[in-house]
Amino acid sequence: MTTPLAALDWPVRTDRLELRLARSEDAAAIWPWYRLPAVQEWTTSWHTALEEHQAWWEDRLSLSVVGLRGERIVAVGKIEQQDAWSQADMVEQARGQQAELGWVLDPGVHGQGLGTEFAYALLRLAVEGIGVRRVEAHCFADNLASRRVLEKIGMRLEGVHREESLHRSGRWLDGMSWALLAAEHRDQQR
């Protein structure tokens, strides 16, 4: 039995951030930094106009969480609850048993440990809040900052996928899959 993201006890506070569910108006608030090359270098989406960005954001509201430092949104994350793969007769038991995590920080606050703090909060929300049994995350192997965040929050590298992903630079890049079981997360906290 899992609890939907929207039904968790919001807001959630970490040492320096306040996390809450995303709202429509957040799209415009994050646009000034979300559009920057340092961010878009590694994001899946790529928008040149606020209208496109707003439409993309609306589609993601149900899985998006924002992190505020004071009044300002400095972090955007996703917790996408997913069905685990299963044999056909076990579909019901596998439903919603895992979550994919992702994060993007305002470049203005990079390098202060906030990415790690935010990512760890997302991990805890997925495992301790929603109650999934496994979390996953994916990154380009060249994204050293995100790799380091993944290591620091205790996730395990499960695979390096050779030239799996086409980057908008035109290069085929290695992709990486990371995961952590809820049981492993609990062991790490002991």
Q: Which residues contact ligand COA by CB under 6 A? A: 39, 42-43, 103-105, 110-116, 139, 143-146, 148-149
**Residue nearest to ligand COA as judged by C-beta position:** 115
The four Cα atoms 10, 106, 134, 174 give a dihedral, to 10 degrees, of 170
Residue 139 beta carbon to ligand COA: minimum distance, rounded to whole angstroms: 4
Q: Which is nearer to ligand COA, 69 or 133 (CB)?
A: 69
CB closer to ligand COA, 3 vs 14: 14
Cα–Cα distances in Å, from 31 out to 41, 110, 157?
A: 15, 17, 31
The residue among 84 and 145 lying less far from ligand COA, judged by its C-beta, is 145
What is the nearest approach in angstroms of ligand COA to the Cβ of residue 127? 19
Nearest approach, Cβ of residue 114 and ligand COA (Å): 4
Shortest Å distance, C-beta 126 to ligand COA: 16
Q: Which is nearer to ligand COA, 30 or 130 (CB)?
A: 30
Determine the Cα angle at 100 with ends 67 and 111, to 5°: 40
- By beta-carbon proximity to ligand COA, the closer residue of 3 and 110 is 110
Would you say 90 or 166 has its CB closer to ligand COA? 166
In whole angstroms, the minimum distance from the beta carbon of 35 to ligand COA comes to: 12
- Considering the complex, what minimum distance in angstroms separates the CB of residue 116 from ligand COA? 3
